[in-house]
Amino acid sequence: MIYGFEAVVLGVSLMLELWIGNSGLAVFCTGYALAYFAVTISPLHALAAALFCGGVLDVVYGRPGVFALAVLPAMLGVRQLLFGLTRRDAVWSSALIGGGLGLTAALSVLAATAFRNPAVLSAMPAAALLVCYLTAGALWFPIQLLMLDFFADQIGVGCYRERPHSRLSASRPAGRNRRLKRRATAGGRRE
């Protein structure tokens, strides 16, 4: 079920990215969706999906290089780095991760522009582009998390945000830490 959900979300994000990209704006919807699935499924699975989606985007756009094939895994790397520094259940942490994803997207757009035509880069306000992408990412990623978590909860698959009182937490067996804690409170004697 989770893989079907992932296929639908990635398909919609690819179509949205292609639709908006045809007007000349790089939005990287797929990178944000892959950042969601890197947590709900696994980072390696998201990396494989990023390579596939990046290849699809590069082929559809007819790019001579591997632009999206390099940018989407880079966005996952930034997500992995920032995810280790933040909490899953805080809105500010998802905004921080979204800002990092937006900054990565902006730097890739600047690098691609400099590679194609360096003269355009001097005329283009790079700082304004960085701020726009950073702000858009910081606003979009938390909204996307809420939307995808809502749909994931409706169909019964794993969500991004931690659920401290979920159905699964009651059925988990006591772990090693719980046993050690019980031993410490029992005075060190075996139960």
Residue 62: give its domain's CATH number: 1.10.1760
Question: What 8-state DSSP symbol labels residue 173?
Answer: P
CB 2 within 8 A of CB 40: yes
92 pLDDT tier (thresholds 50, 70, 90): confident
Over the stretch 128-146, which tens digit does the pLDDT of each residue have? 888 888 899 999 988 998 8
Say which amino acid occupies 104. Answer: T
Is 105:133 a contact under the CB 8 Å cutoff? yes
Query: Rg for the chain (alpha carbons), in Å?
Result: 20
User: pTM value?
Assistant: 0.73
**Type and span of the H or E element at 6:** helix 2-21
169 domain residue, yes or no: no
Q: Give the per-residue pLDDT at 176.
A: 47
User: Can you spell out the DSSP letters for 62-121?
Assistant: T-SS-HHHHHHHHHHHHHHHHHTTS-SS-HHHHHHHHHHHHHHHHHHHHHHHHHH-HHHH
Is residue 191 assigned to a domain?
Answer: no
Write out the residue range of the structural domain in which residue 139 sits: 2-161
Question: Is 170 inside any structural domain?
Answer: no
Of 8, 27, 7, 9, nearest to 17 by C-alpha is 27
All residues at 6 or more sequence positions from 181 whose CB lies less than 8 Å from its CB, including other chains: none
Is 122 inside any structural domain?
yes
Q: Determine the pLDDT at residue 166.
A: 35
> Rounded mean pLDDT of the chain?
77
Q: Is residue 151, in this structure, part of any structural domain at all?
A: yes
Nearest Cα to Cα of residue 28 among 107, 94, 85: 107
Whether residue 143 lies inside any domain: the answer is yes
At 27-69, the pLDDT tens digits run 888 888 998 888 888 888 888 988 898 888 888 888 777 777 7
Total of domains in the chain: 1
Domain presence at residue 45: yes
Residue 179, domain member (yes or no): no
pLDDT in tens, 135-177: 999 999 889 988 988 888 888 877 776 544 333 333 444 444 4
Q: How confident is the model at residue 105 (pLDDT cuts 50, 70, 90)?
A: confident
